Amino acid sequence: MVTARLEILSITRRFGGRPVVDDLSLEVMPGQVTCLLGPSGCGKSTALRIIAGVDRADEGEIRIDGTPVAGPGLFVPPERRGTGLMFQDFALFPHLSVADNIAFGLSGTRTEKRLRVRELLDKVGLVRFLGAFPHELSGGEQQRVALARALAPRPKIMLMDEPFSGLDNRLRDGIRDETLSILKDEGAAVLLVTHEPEEAMRMADEIALMRRGRIVQRGAPYNVYNAPVDREAAAFFSDVNVIRGRVEGALTDTPFGQFLAPGQADGTEVDIVIRPQHVKIDFDRGGQGPAPSPEHGVWARGIVERARFIGKDSLVEFRMEFDGSQMRANVPSVFLPKPGTPLWIAIRRDRCFVFPVTDRSPARRRAG
């Protein structure tokens, strides 16, 4: 069995009595990228700071390669934890050259340091900037130097807090991919904090979805996206349509036909949650609409309110005839029906999620 490189065991951190990190546990395996993903303010940075050793937990323990580095009566300082840090504002030292910035935390002989600096600059493709100063570099280049600097002492664990959020969109994808391949190459275990689902999906081997100080779901990006634990988890990754219904005999009747609600007691209110790209659209056929099918269930009629081309697909907004609620569909390529056009909508049975309604589920929006 492979030992986890990093183990976080039930850490809690309170500010003014309020738990900001609340009984959080997580492991990161060697050579893996784990993304701590969650909305702003959910406690991601606080958790990362505790792991780095720049803050202390009120409860819980942290182990690196099986050895405790923080816990009751124990605190190993940051510089002795073997972690590399990269934060959002990765300030380089302005008065040091690129090479000296990277060499800053290195020990060893001058030759050893020079070789390591050279190797890293080669990896990030910036050998020509060896003697340059930070202000002579673009934002993306500075980011790569910061990465090289963090990796220079060969940290066993890289802790990264929204390291790409300062970069403009055009640069970001390229730098993310490049960073990922360098991190994999160096073999570090990576814990990357982000509030952007796309970034987590792109970077992570495993996503840990965080909410209000706790981890609510963990898994490969594919699983977290396709099997969310609740409505809020589904809605964190994309816009969602929600149809509310009531369970009767493990089934829920809706304007789109019946949905299975296995294990839900009679009378339970449920939300049927569906991403806009899994909504099907068909033509009006003189007001008849398409025939029901096992895959799509019953079709319901809606009137187009707005249609926009948003890149590789189109987003169409409907006002549904059955109750005046709004629904959204993503349609591949260019599909721009005029407002007022009647169309029929169906929900893919294999792609919808059925969740019991909780106090936190907002009621669906009604037509004004």
Ligand X SMILES: Nc1ncnc2c1ncn2[C@@H]1O[C@H](COP(=O)(O)OP(=O)(O)O)[C@@H](O)[C@H]1O
* Residue 314 near which of Mg ion, ligand X, none (CB within 5-8 Å, type-dependent): none
Binding of ligand X at residue 169 (CB under 6 A)? no
Binding of Mg ion at residue 101 (CB under 5 A)? no
Q: What are the phi and psi torsion angles at 37 (to 5°)?
A: -115, 130
Among residues 43, 53, 163, 257, which is the contact residue for ligand X, using CB under 6 A?
43
Closest distance between Mg ion and the C-beta of residue 43, in Å?
A: 9
- CB hemisphere CA count around 30 (13 angstroms): 12
Q: Is 240 exposed, middle or buried (0-12, 13-18, 19+ CB in 10 A)?
A: buried
Q: Which of 237, 254, 199, 209 is nearest to 26 (CA)?
A: 209
Site for ligand X in 4-33 (CB under 6 A): 15, 20
Residue 184 neighbours by CB distance under 10 Å: 14
* Residue number, 47 or 298, with CB nearest to Mg ion: 47
Closest distance between Mg ion and the C-beta of residue 160, in Å?
A: 11
Task: Name the segment binding ligand X (CB under 6 A); options: 35-43, 114-122, 220-228, 255-263.
Answer: 35-43
Task: Name the segment binding ligand X (CB under 6 A); options: 39-47, 85-93, 103-111, 290-298.
Answer: 39-47
Site for ligand X in 250-279 (CB under 6 A): none
Q: Which residue is nearest to Mg ion (CB)?
A: 45
Residue with tokens 């997580």: 26
* Residue number, 156 or 212, with CB nearest to ligand X: 212
Distance between CA atoms of 322 and 256, rounded to whole angstroms? 10
* Residue number, 212 or 306, with CB nearest to ligand X: 212
Among residues 2, 40, 107, 359, which is the contact residue for ligand X, using CB under 6 A?
40
Closest distance between Mg ion and the C-beta of residue 314, in Å?
A: 34
Distance between CA atoms of 95 and 102, rounded to whole angstroms? 13
Closest distance between Mg ion and the C-beta of residue 44, in Å?
A: 5
Residue with tokens 């890149």: 311
Among residues 7, 37, 44, 240, which is the contact residue for ligand X, using CB under 6 A?
44
Residue 166 neighbours by CB distance under 10 Å: 14
Task: Name the segment binding Mg ion (CB under 5 A); options: 39-47, 91-99, 199-207, 228-236.
Answer: 39-47
Among residues 11, 28, 42, 272, which is the contact residue for ligand X, using CB under 6 A?
42
Among residues 45, 142, 264, 361, which is the contact residue for Mg ion, using CB under 5 A?
45
Q: What are the phi and psi torsion angles at 172 (to 5°)?
A: -60, -50
Strand-by-strand arrangement of the 241-248 sheet: 257-260, 251-254, 241-248, 269-274, 353-356
* Residue number, 36 or 102, with CB nearest to Mg ion: 36
Closest distance between ligand X and the C-beta of residue 216, in Å?
A: 14
Distance between CA atoms of 138 and 125, rounded to whole angstroms? 14
Distance between CA atoms of 332 and 38, rounded to whole angstroms? 28
Going by C-beta distance under 8 Å and a sequence separation of 6 or more, which residues neighbour residue 51?
Answer: 6, 8, 62, 83, 157, 159, 191
* Residue number, 214 or 319, with CB nearest to ligand X: 214
- Could you tell me how many residues of this chain bind ligand X (CB under 6 A)? 10
Among residues 34, 45, 142, 252, which is the contact residue for ligand X, using CB under 6 A?
45
Helix, strand, or coil (residue 311):
coil
Binding of Mg ion at residue 46 (CB under 5 A)? no
Residue 169 neighbours by CB distance under 10 Å: 6
Q: What are the phi and psi torsion angles at 168 (to 5°)?
A: -75, 155
Closest distance between ligand X and the C-beta of residue 21, in Å?
A: 7
Closest distance between ligand X and the C-beta of residue 334, in Å?
A: 37
Note the residues at the interface with Mg ion (CB under 5 A). Answer: 45
- The footprint of ligand X (CB under 6 A) covers 15, 20, 38, 40-46
